[in-house]
Amino acid sequence: MFELIKDQIKNIKKVVFVTGAGISQESGIPTFRGKDGLWKNHDSMKLATIDAFYDNPKLVWEWYNERRKNIFAAQPNLGHKAIAELEKYVKVVVLTQNIDGLHQKAGSSEVLELHGSIIKIKCSVCNFNEEITSEISEILPLCKCGNILRPDVVWFGESLPQDVWQKAMIYASQCDLMVIVGTSLVVSPANTLPIYAKQNNALLIEINPDNTEISPEMTLVIRNTGTISLPEFVSLFKNK
């Protein structure tokens, strides 16, 4: 599967993973854009914009609470675990578009959540934020300042957290190898990350069962899932 880069692995010291919904789908978390995705039965503009939240915060909170139940029950799969294991051999950073925390659950120590986290909440007005470990019982949870709390995720039309994005660009521009797993990278600005890696002459690997717009730009394309491909990928580093 990885024969083309086997000889180059011995020179790799910094690996950046860019992960998307496809890797979490294998843990039972539906994707947004797949044929069985979360957007299939919902209008995304009624659920994932700040305007929708102010128009109907109860609906948005109900939907996110349902998603949170699913995510709390989910466990890291072999793909997540392989990425965490790779830290034994090289420097690893995960830049994830996922909001489920499964990379951290698997043991990855350096994870940048580009689109926020569903297990964190923040105030819609003041600077309050915190992590939650169980279900929220209130229909509309309020901050101590009296304003509505919201999921600490990046909604359509919102900017990525600038501190996180600045770090992501730096890691991408310094890596020797970038592995893009389970994402078509159609969302900006995450879709620019391979450009930063390429400017550093990094190897680019795509792991995705489907063809994507970025496939022609890759050094190596693996048409398979993360759970199958990533354990084999890590085994290359064990033997280098």
The verdict on whether residue 175 carries a ligand-binding annotation is no
- pLDDT tens sequence across 73-120: 999 999 999 999 999 999 999 999 999 999 999 999 999 999 999 999
The fold adopted by the segment(s) 1-28+76-115+160-240 is Rossmann fold (3.40.50)
Looking at residues 2-15, what average pLDDT do you find? Answer: 92
The verdict on whether residue 200 carries a ligand-binding annotation is no
Residues 102 and 27: beta-carbon distance below 8 Å: yes
Burial label, 93 (beta-carbon count in 10 A; 0-12, 13-18, 19+): buried
Using pLDDT thresholds of 50, 70 and 90, give the confidence band for residue 63.
confident
Tell me the longest C-alpha to C-alpha distance in the chain: 59
Q: Is 42 a known active-site residue?
A: no
Pick left, alpha or beta for residue 192 (phi over 0 → left; psi -120 to 50 → alpha; otherwise beta): alpha
Please tell me the predicted confidence (pLDDT) of residue 104: 97
Average pLDDT value over all residues in the chain = 91
Over 70: is that where the pLDDT of 225 sits? Answer: yes
Tell me the backbone φ, ψ of residue 79, rounded to 5 degrees.
-70, -50
pTM of the model: 0.92
Tally of residues, the chain: 240
Using pLDDT thresholds of 50, 70 and 90, give the confidence band for residue 140.
confident
The one catalytic residue in 42, 80, 103, 115 is 115
The verdict on whether residue 214 carries a ligand-binding annotation is no
Radius of gyration of the chain (CA): 18
- pLDDT tens sequence across 13-45: 999 999 999 999 999 987 655 555 555 566 766
Q: By mean pLDDT, which of 27-41, 62-76, 223-237 is the weakest?
A: 27-41
The CATH architecture one would assign to domain 30-73+123-153 is: 2-Layer Sandwich (3.30)
Please tell me the predicted confidence (pLDDT) of residue 210: 93
The verdict on whether residue 223 carries a ligand-binding annotation is no
Residue ranges covered by each domain of the chain = 1-28+76-115+160-240, 30-73+123-153
How distant, in Å, are the alpha carbons of 87, 118, 131, 141 from that of 137?
38, 16, 15, 8
